[in-house]
Structures are given as structure tokens and as C-alpha cells.
Structure 1
Amino acid sequence: MSDPQQHPGRFDVHHHALPRPYQKALDSSGAPQLKGVDPIHWDVDSDREVMRDNDIRGALLSVTAPGTTIVPGPEAIRLARDTNEEFARLVADNDGAYGAFALLPLPDATAAIAEIDHAVDELGLDGVGLFSNSAGVYLGDEQLEPVLAHLAEREITAFVHPAIPASTDQATFGLPPSLYEFTFDTTRAVANLLYSGTLDRHPGLKLVLSHAGGTVPFLAQRLTYAATIASRLKDREPADLLGSLRRLYYDTAMSANRATLAALTELVGPEHILFGSDYPYMPASTTRETVEGVVEFFSPADRELLERRNFEVLFPRFCARAKTFAAR
């Protein structure tokens, strides 16, 4: 099914895969692909078909939660390396259709920095994947400050995917935590980044938040009231909280509906939004729903930004690679 308004194709910043080393580690550990969620199958042929059907010119592959925390210590470092090497192979074998976000062995900051450099410099990956929390360590934690500082210094874009917080076992109501806790955990991570001073220290940090930023657009103004509620937080207030939120990027995965996009576009303009599908954890029908929601809500000029131009700015190496393949 093609887009009713013909164009050169969109780029997908939120597109998952199950590389063989990661799937093997999941199988060995007994961990679910994603807690409470039906397991999915991923293969290149099916994936490329969905991309063609939805005019997705290129997709950045990433691993969803829980990441390397499914294995202990040194095994996590090896799992990240093996997964990233498999990502590099998928990129090389698919004619410019794919890029990838590197999997990092978080919360081990030293190992994560080493893997960032290897994945970007040696394997040619396009950025890194972060989780809202890794084994309960959130992105604004001082333990991860070296990682965020390194990404900012090197101007490497990071894709922030939510993870399940440790507390959800107490009240899940028989529902999969990803149904609603994912949006809350993205918000926890952002609040932590704001009130730890991380975003003030690194104003050039390029972060893409999944699922329209979770509940961040809806709660943006409320997040400014910390010192009003508790005066002891005055010294921790961000210099410009709303300005910091507007510097971040947000994707459309599971969010291409009028209510969510209205809140998001009140916070940021289309130059800080990217198309994201969440395929294959959300099926092909939802990818189509996302395309239709974006087409319905945004003007053609705004769609040009969020479907292509913003992606080209953040991921120039991917786009150069795709053009090279297209020219062959």
C-alpha cells in the first residue's frame, strides 16, 4: 500500500530487530523478549516488505528493552560487541536500507564508552541506543555522566527507548508494563536528566525520545513546578526547563493520533519530530496507522521535515550511505 501523496520515501528512527547474538542470549537466559508482550519474529525479508509497503526508504535498527542486562557483567560487554557486529553486517548486506543504533553494556560507563567508539568508528554504526534506565540506573545518574558527556563531546545522536522500572511488579493489574509504564519511564528519565543538571551541562546533547516523549509533552509545564512544590529544589532547577525539552527530539511511534500529536506540537515544532514505527513490536497494521496519522495531522512541508530532513541532519552518514547504494 503506497502513500496517497507520492514522495521520495520516509526514514524510520524507531525500528527494532532481533540480531542473532541477542536472540541467542535471550534464549539462553530465559528472559522474555519484552515482559508481558507476545514474542515476535523478525527477519529481513518480512521487514523489507513492510518498509516497501509503507514507503519507508530507510530504517535505523535498534534492540528494545531490556538490553544487555539479561546477562551478567563481562557477558554484557561481549553481548553488546557481538550484537553490534551483527548490526554492521545487516547494514552492509541490505543496500542502504538499514542503519543501526549500537547496543551498549550499560550501566558500565567505562565499557559503554569503549563500545561507543568501536561501534561508531570501527563498525560505522549511526548512533547509540540508550534505555530510560539500565538495571535501575537512570540517564541523569552521576554513574552515567561520563557516557552522556562523551556523546555530547562527539556529537553522537542517541535514541532513548523506555525500559520497565523495577517497581512495576507491585501493581501491573495483569497488564503488560510496556502498555503504559514505558511512557512513564521515559518521563522519569527526562525529569532525572533535567534536575540532575545533565541537559544544562550538555546543551548540545542529541537525544531522540521514543513514543513522542512518553508523557513529557503533557507534563512539560508541570515539570517546571518542582521548586514551587519543594523549595529545597531551587538550586536544582534547570536554567530553562522548557527550552531544554525543546532541544530534544521526539518520534511518532505509537503516537500518531490527534491527541498525542497536539500535545507534542504545542511543545516542539516539526523540526524536532521524526517518524518512528516501532515495527515489529507493533505490527504492520500499526505502521500503516502511523503513516496515515502523520499524513492526516501534518502539512506536506512539515512532513518533509519529520519524515526526511530532520533525519538527514541527525544521521548524515546513514543518508550518504543510502545515496551511494541508490546510485549504483
Structure 2
Amino acid sequence: MGFIDVHHHAVPPRYAVALRGSTPIPGVDYPVWDPELSLKVMDDNGIDAAVLSITAPGVHFGGDPERTRLLAREVNEYFATLLSDRFGAFAILPLPDIEAAREELAYAIDQLGLDGVGVLTAYDNRYLGSPEFEPLLAEIAERGLAVHVHPATPAMADLATFDLPPSLYEFTFETTRTAASLLFNGVLDRLPDLRLILSHAGGTIPFLANRLTYGPTIGAHLAERAPSDVLGTLRRLHFDIAMSANRFTLPSLAAFADPANVLFGSDFPFMPVSTTEETVAGLAESREWTGAQKAAIGRDNALRLLPRLAARLTPPRSS
């Protein structure tokens, strides 16, 4: 049906070199990737275009901030070489350095022409609702850019006897934590035009959304921090269905989210081709949405958020 995949990762050559000798996501096999591999999977699964992003750990490995800025620049310039009617890209920013991030945002969007921004749920133990991130988010909102939010490995260490990869379960909670921080710190209401796309059906947000309305009941001090309409504020968020197009997750997402705010995502290549196939089939077989809504989830919702990609897919006709 000509899907637009908003959750599709890349491992650029310079980024792969930078990761050598590190453990990017504990317990996770970091994949080998090249554009041709993505194109094959896209062609086999009816995906017209994929919006590329990098995942955890981003470009900040601690230490030298200049290295972080340089790696972000190299990744974004590489992404710019792939922009086409098959590939879009979310710019990576050298966070947690806010000023450097704003400079890179201007370069990546205004000069390189990338389609939006990709961020992680937290940087240096601070979630996106922390005050220092708001000026950057405000600028992104003012520009009308879509922001893909991907979970990162949390700082807390699991018990030694509980040695499962954090991406197996903690990633969903990290997405929930950053969404809750944005909600109760008032960022979502102060920036109503902020176009955030939460990965993996929003983590546990659809399941826990009503529970979050109990904040002031649980602690009276939250009365001044909670939005007047918690559910309405959360429903302004967008959600991709990567790793989530199944009979357990989709009913909760569909019950909570506006279908106009749901988008297709594959999580390739960190998840194999079979998961892309599962996502395509899961959306098609879902009873939660109408055919027209499924078509919008698969394609139209993403093109509305990503006008530059939409223009490359459908060049303006000459008069």
C-alpha cells in the first residue's frame, strides 16, 4: 500500500566506526546495515519510503563534546546524501549540549534539508521534560518539525541476576518516563504544536494514560503540575507501531490514540525482516481501524508530518 516507515534505523559508516569497542545497547546485537539492505526489505514489503534515524546511544558517549558535535555533523551529512523519494532522515543532534544542538538543528534543516529531528528519551539522566531542553523543543515546534523519540538505555543498573537486554522491556518504560516528564512539567501544554512521535506505540502510555490522571489524587502537590486535561494533552502525541502491531498492543493503542496520530514503523534492521512482515500483516488484519484509517496510518499521516518527504514523493506538477 506504499507505506511510509518512520521508525527505520541506519548505521552510517562513520557511526559504525565510532561505535567500535563500545557496548551501544547492552545485550543487543548491533546489526550490519547499508542502504541497499533497507531498499530490499522495503521493496519486499510495500514500503515506498523510510525515514532514517540512528538509535541508542546516539552520538554522545560522554567525554569530549567536540567529538559529539563532529559525529552528529558526519551522520547528518551522510543522511543528506541519501535524501530521495525512497529515503528521508531525522537529524541527530549533539545533545545534551543545547547550544550545539540548536546550531546543528539549523544546519541540518536549513542547509542539508533533512525532514525532522530524532532524539532519545533522556540524556545524562535527564528526560525530555527537564527545563533545559524546552528552548530547543520550542524552536523545533516553531519550525513545525516532526520529532521521532526513541528510547535509550536507562541509567539504573539491573540486579545481577536479572540480566536481560534493556531493549526487551525497559525501552517501553523509558518512553513512558519521558512522556510523563513532558506532561507533568507542563511542556506539552506550553508547546501544543510540538509534533512528537513516540516509538513502539508509546511504550506503556496507552495502557497507563488513565492512571496518569490520578497524579493529583496520589500527591496533592501534583495538582498544580497536572494539565487540566491529561488525556487530551497526551492524545496530541503521535505513536509509531514498530514492534506493536499485534493483538495485544493494538487494541490499547486504538482505544487511546487518535488514528490520525498513528504511524507505520518497522524498527528495521534492529528487528529482522520477519518483524516487518509481522507489522504489515498486523496492521492489515487489525479490527481496530477502518480501511481508510489503516491507509492513513500506513502512509498519509506520515506525509502530513513530513512535508519535505511528501514533496519528494509527489513532485509539484508543472502548470
TM-score range, shorter chain: over 0.9
1:123 aligns with: 112
Q: CA deviation at 1:74?
A: 1.4
Pick the aligned partner of 1:11 from 4, 8, 11: 4
When structure 1 is superposed on structure 2, of 232-241 and 193-202 the one drifting more is: 232-241
Name the structure 1 match of 2:17.
24
Whether 1:83 and 2:75 are equivalent positions in the alignment is yes
Alpha-carbon RMSD: 1.6
CA deviations 1:174-221 (Å, max 9, x no partner) are 110000000000000000000111001001100000000000000000
Contact 2:183–2:227 under 8 Å retained in 1: yes
What SS does structure 2 have at the residue aligned with 1:38?
coil
Whole-Å Cα distance in 1 between the matches of residues 250 and 81 of structure 2?
A: 35
How does 1:306-317 map onto structure 2 within 5 Å?
A: 306-317=297-308
Match of 1:166 among 155, 158, 161: 155
CA deviation map 1:51-82 (0-9, x unaligned): 00000000000000110122531110111011
Q: Aligned equivalents of 1:285 and 1:129: distance in 2? A: 25
| SS of alignment partner, residue 248 of structure 2 | helix
Q: CA deviation at 1:321?
A: 1.0
* Aligned counterpart, 2:172: 183
Q: Taking structure 1 as reference, are residues 256 and 171 closer, same or farther at Cα in structure 2, changes over 3 Å only?
A: farther
* Equivalent-residue separation in structure 2 for 1:216 and 1:255 (angstroms): 13
Counting only pairs closer than 5 Å after superposition, residues 171-250 of structure 1 correspond to structure 2 as 173-250=162-239
Structure 1 stretches of at least 4 aligned residues deviating more than 4 Å after TM superposition:
none
Query: 1:99, 1:125 within 8 Å by CA — same for their partners in 2?
Result: yes
1:86-135 Cα offsets, whole Å, 9 max, x none, are 011122xxx41000000111111111111111101100000000111012
User: In structure 2, what is the equivalent of residue 66 of structure 1?
Assistant: 57
| 1:303 equivalenced with 2:307 (yes/no) | no
Residue 34 of structure 2 aligns with which residue? 43
Change (3 A) 1:188 1:174: same
Distance 1:84 1:258 in 2: 37
* Amino acid in the other structure paired with 1:158: V
Match of 1:152 in 2: 141
User: Which runs of 5 or more structure 1 residues have no equivalent in the other structure?
Assistant: 1-6
Residue in 2 that maps onto 1:4: none
Distance in structure 2 (CA, Å) of the matches to 1:248 and 1:151: 15
* Matched-pair identity in %: 52
CA apart distance, 1:173: 1.0
- Say whether the 8 Å CA contact 1:127–1:158 is kept in structure 2: yes
Q: Indicate if the aligned counterparts of 1:255 and 1:290 stay in contact, CA closer than 8 A.
A: yes
8 Å CA contact 1:40–1:281 kept in 2: the answer is yes
TM-score where L is the length of structure 1? 0.93
Assess if the C-alpha contact under 8 Å between 1:25 and 1:70 holds in 2.
no
Q: Which residue of 1 aligns with 2:131?
A: 142
Q: Which runs of 5+ in 2 are unaligned?
A: none
Q: 1:96 and 1:288 mapped to 2: Cα distance? A: 22
TM-score (norm 2): 0.95
When the two structures are aligned, how many residues end up with a matched partner?
Answer: 315
Q: Distance between the aligned counterparts of 1:316 and 1:261, measured in 2?
A: 27
Gap change, CA 1:319 and 1:202, over 3 Å in 2: same
